[in-house]
Amino acid sequence: MYTLLSGLYKYVFQKDEYCILILGLDNAGKTTFLEQSKTRFNKHYKGMSLSKITTTVGLNIGTVDVGKARLMFWDLGGQEELQSLWDKYYAECHGVIYVIDSTDEERLSESKQAFEKMVTSEALEGVPILVLANKQDVETCLSIPDIKTAFSDCTSKIGRRDCLTQACSALTGKGVNEGIEWMVKCVVRNVHRPPRQRDIT
């Protein structure tokens, strides 16, 4: 009887919580993506003006609920001196969203180096990765094939984990819903990193 009640309690009052890291160079649009996600998935979230978002120094945290899953986002600063802190969060995370500025061709190789270092970390083995080619609303942006070509020698290092490269505009919201829904499917089916149980508040 206790087991039945315990199961019912979990079903009604608890959500499976998954921690998702949002990584990428500074000015890639990570915090804008986080704000857009919170606005789209949280009915009562008013949100901050996207034009007032500044460079993240440290960490922004946000939560969205998608069905029975709760995603806890950790948006980490992307400046070079802050990238050394990324790996402190790897062991606890269930998924990674890596944001690329599609308009910044000059820093694409720098972004690739940061991605390569991240993807080869043993602490992230088997963790799904969503690569967002952000700022696709700008006419002069690099296309998805351009970015895939630039990152092509990272392909073998991704291994057998779930990985998707997707066009996105964090500013307009294009591709945000699809990206998050893809990530939810991946973390829910990833048996290697079970969720944390959180009471619904």
Q: Is 113 a catalytic residue?
A: no
- How far is it, in rounded angstroms, from Cα 19 to Cα 64? 11
- Binding region for GTP: 24-31, 78, 134-137
Beta bridge partners of 66: 69
Chain position carrying tokens 């819903």 = 177
Beta bridge partners of 97: 22, 130
Nearest to 159 by CA among 184, 188, 193, 125: 125
- Binding region for Mg(2+): 31, 56
Q: What is the dihedral of CA 48, 51, 55, 58, to 10 degrees?
A: 10
- Binding region: 24-31, 56, 78, 134-137
3-state secondary structure of 42: coil
Residue 194 gets which letter from DSSP?
P
Identify residue 25 by its one-letter amino acid code.
L
Q: Of these residues, 14, 36, 79, 197, which one is catalytic?
A: 79
Residues 72/79, Cβ–Cβ less than 8 Å = no
Kindly list the catalytic residues: 79
